[in-house]
Structure 1
Amino acid sequence: MRASTVLRTPAGTHPSKSESPRRSSLWGALAVFAAAAVLHVGVVLVVHSQTNGDALFPDAQGYKSASDMIAVAWRNGSPLETRSLSGLVGSAVWGYPAIMALCRLLTGGGWLSAKTVLALFAATGAVAAYGLALTSGRGRKRAAAVGLMVGASPSLLLWDAWGLKDGLITSLVLWSLLVQTRARFSIACVSTLLSIHACLYLRPAAALFLGVALLARVRFRRGYLAGSLIVVGAAALFILPRLMTLFGLVDSLEVRGGTRLGFTGGYGSENLLNHPQYLVTLLLGPFPWEFGPETAVPERWLYLGTIIWIASLFLAPTALRRAWADTSGVGRAAVLGMSAYAAAYIATFGGAFYRQRSLLECMLIILVVLYFPLSPARAMMRIQVWLAGIAAVAVVHSPHLTPTIWSKWLAVCVIGLVVPLAFVYGLRQGAARRFRERRT
């Protein structure tokens, strides 16, 4: 075709091609945040009303009382330095009570208003997950699925409602990963250093996550020299002294009364290096098949989150391999950060500290949704078979579901009959679907 016959569209008559995707991405992010905010604030209000405003966990009670003291001191006009905050809180990791006290001052309210503000900030983690999915080259549908799964995470919803800091830490890590993935290396270095410094006052293991994740962006090029110098200089001036202080306090911290944290482990810390028998607790706990009277505790509400975590473990190997191959998106950075965080978690807290595991749960869900190669229908079919196997173990293990030996054998026979039938039915449905796709 000759050039004279090609129709040209005058400039300014149509919107730019980049405007429509940006506008739709913005609306998608707002929708994800609205859904996450409603869930987070709703659960906070329900739990607060059902518990009459009482803290359910000893840590939450400490955060509540410490933030109250800090807020009163600030209202009286006394400037608080780092030593004063550490003395009021009784810990070198005083960041969360100070943030909660700041929320009290900004809202002019009490513990409920502070929890509500922090829940809204935790809900922004869903927007960060949405942005990570788009930056990694995934479509808007998969990005929306990732954002909604993070915003509706049962574990994070309950930790926020109980006045704990895990939702705040997870959102901070997700936003830092988003900046690392999208921004220039020098800007990513500055942002990561600020986030690391904040995490040293919130949860030092999360700072390790971000520092190792930044290594995925390092390239031996001239343009990365400025960012590397920023990291080295700021780490030497601000991060290293704080790390040495925290490292020196490790042996003085107590997991439970009279039980030192340490890196050597103990029964209280359930260190997996010295107590590998707690590996099942790490992978499957809190056990969702325990419904006896002794389990009537707030952690029972975490059973739904445990089921999602167990299902994600089955899909994790394939998703992690594909995520490692993604060097331009969030994949390799997330895998490196998760590995460092998991190593620190296993070497200290170990099995039963599910709050420390919530960051791993959230990141694993993101990587599974972003990088698992199969369709949702086929993935769900495999998950059902995996959960059926776990259910067989649970039925045999639980004294409440099957109290007698005959009931255990009966349950195993029923599961052994139902699972193969479901698997064959799923294979037939998949074959029929592929046949219809080939015809169309």
Structure 2
Amino acid sequence: MGVVLVVHSQTNGYALFPDARGYDSVSDAIAEAWRSGSRLDTRDLSGLVGSAVWGYPAIMALCKVMTGGGWLAAKAVLALLAATGAVAAYGLAMASGRGHKRAAAVGLMVGTSPSLMLWDAWGLKDGLITSLVLWSLLAQTRARFSLACVSTMLSICACLYLRPAAALFLAVALLARVKFRREYLVGSLIVAGAAALFILPRMMTLFGLVDSLEVHDGTRLGFTGGYGSQNLLNHPQYLVTLLFGPFPWEYGAGTAVPERWLYPGTVIWIASLALAPTALRRAWADATGVGRAAVLGSAAYAAVYMVTFGGSFYRQRSLLECVLIILVVLYLPLSPVVAMTRIHVWLALVAGVAVVHSPHLTPTIWSKWLAVCVIGLAVLLTFMCGVRQGAARRFRDRRT
């Protein structure tokens, strides 16, 4: 909330990001309708918003009515709700049997995530969605299965109006906890009944929009994420954009845009990829904690993300970034020295490829060779230091 207030201290409380301005104007219309005593149903809200995914403008309008203020007051309340995701991450760590140190580290990393704070500061909904998903995972981990089913169904219904792919995340995470036992029968019946009454009609509405919307004249939405998307099934070359974009090494003409504020979060995401294989194997083995459920839910969410928005939209990746950081901190079995060595080597390799391919950083062939030699030397020194420290640690262990 502090970041939101600081960013907008010189904007007179008005939204800056284009999507945020759209949320502001639509939520004003909804708030005025509520203040005048109108009872808006789902069809009315869809008409005002112009989309079947009207949840965030409606929540923002509710905050405006409750606070009696404008966009900044509503966004401050929403940022405060999004910040509670750090508390949920701490609870997930404790429920998974991790110590207080790792739990505190997870809470701090979620609470200070550069990507989530940036989206909150720009007036977008990603922090709120991430917080909702983390609280739902906590309920699935700690509550009885029947209560977990009830809370998850409520969260899925909310996500269907906020971001349907997040609803799939929660559904798959809940299915990962189903066991063939008698006490799970009640929860399974709750899931089946709620899905038939609430989820299935909503899904039919969403699927009915496929191939029916037109973003530009004559351009149908299809199942591609909209105009400008980079579906990885049709365009696998954009996998690099998905993994490493927005590229922190692009400093050429035309890159001095607000998107540069995404670079800190991108660097953390790229560094986490170096530790992901080891952490995910350990998380998969944890069937009672959050590990396996989070891995399966993230895989389902990532699959939808790759076949729709692909490498084009970084906002949809923020949930994956947050969950990956949680899994790395909770389940990484490596020592800090070994982990940092892997991160340094990985970042050096990524930087080497980036520098060689960037015409702005290495414009000539000689500068490219020089960059390769310097980065190769840095990788070698880092590797040798890691081997030396590992040998020294093993020697101390033998002596003790």
Task: Report the equivalent of 2:382.
Answer: 422
Secondary structure at 1:402's aligned position in 2?
coil
Task: Report the equivalent of 2:111.
Answer: 151
1:68 to 4, 24, 28: 28
1:215 to 170, 175, 178: 175
Identity of aligned residues (%): 83
Once the two structures are superposed, residues 93-125 of structure 1 have per-residue CA deviations (whole angstroms, 9 ceiling, x without a partner) of: 000000011111111111111111111111100
2:281 to 321, 327, 333: 321
Structure 2 residue 81 is matched with structure 1 residue 117? no
Go from structure 1 to structure 2 and tell me whether the alpha carbon gap of 1:119 and 1:131 turns closer, same or farther (over 3 Å shift): same
2:292 to 332, 339, 352: 332
The one-letter code matched in structure 2 to 1:389 is: L
CA distance in 1, matches of 2:218, 2:249: 31
Go from structure 1 to structure 2 and tell me whether the alpha carbon gap of 1:51 and 1:293 turns closer, same or farther (over 3 Å shift): farther
Q: Which moved more, 1:400-409 or 1:350-359?
A: 400-409
1:140 to 80, 100, 117: 100
Go from structure 1 to structure 2 and tell me whether the alpha carbon gap of 1:279 and 1:266 turns closer, same or farther (over 3 Å shift): farther
- 5 Å-filtered alignment, 1:251-270, equals 251-253=211-213, 259-263=219-223, 268-270=228-230
- 5 Å-filtered alignment, 1:360-399, equals 360-399=320-359
RMSD value over aligned CA atoms? 1.7
Secondary structure at 1:130's aligned position in 2?
helix
Shift of 1:403: 2.1
Once the two structures are superposed, residues 418-439 of structure 1 have per-residue CA deviations (whole angstroms, 9 ceiling, x without a partner) of: 2211221222123223433444
Query: Is the 8 Å Cα contact of residues 87 and 107 (structure 2) preserved in structure 1?
Result: yes
Task: Report the equivalent of 1:245.
Answer: 205
CA distance in 1, matches of 2:176, 2:216: 36
Structure 2 residue 148 is matched with structure 1 residue 188? yes
Task: Report the equivalent of 1:356.
Answer: 316
Structure 1: where are the runs of 5+ without partners?
Answer: 1-40
Go from structure 1 to structure 2 and tell me whether the alpha carbon gap of 1:258 and 1:285 turns closer, same or farther (over 3 Å shift): farther
Go from structure 1 to structure 2 and tell me whether the alpha carbon gap of 1:388 and 1:214 turns closer, same or farther (over 3 Å shift): same
1:407 to 367, 382, 388: 367
Task: Report the equivalent of 2:89.
Answer: 129
Shift of 1:54: 4.4
CA distance in 1, matches of 2:318, 2:186: 34
Shift of 1:258: 6.2
- 5 Å-filtered alignment, 1:42-53, equals 42-51=2-11, 53=13
Task: Report the equivalent of 1:22.
Answer: none
Greater Cα radius of gyration, structure 1 or 2: 1
2:234 to 274, 296, 318: 274
Secondary structure at 2:162's aligned position in 1?
coil
Task: Report the equivalent of 1:100.
Answer: 60
Secondary structure at 1:200's aligned position in 2?
helix
The one-letter code matched in structure 1 to 2:373 is: C
The one-letter code matched in structure 2 to 1:170 is: T
In the superposition, the TM-score normalised over structure 2's length comes to 0.96
The one-letter code matched in structure 2 to 1:211 is: A
Once the two structures are superposed, residues 252-279 of structure 1 have per-residue CA deviations (whole angstroms, 9 ceiling, x without a partner) of: 3466786543226787221110111111
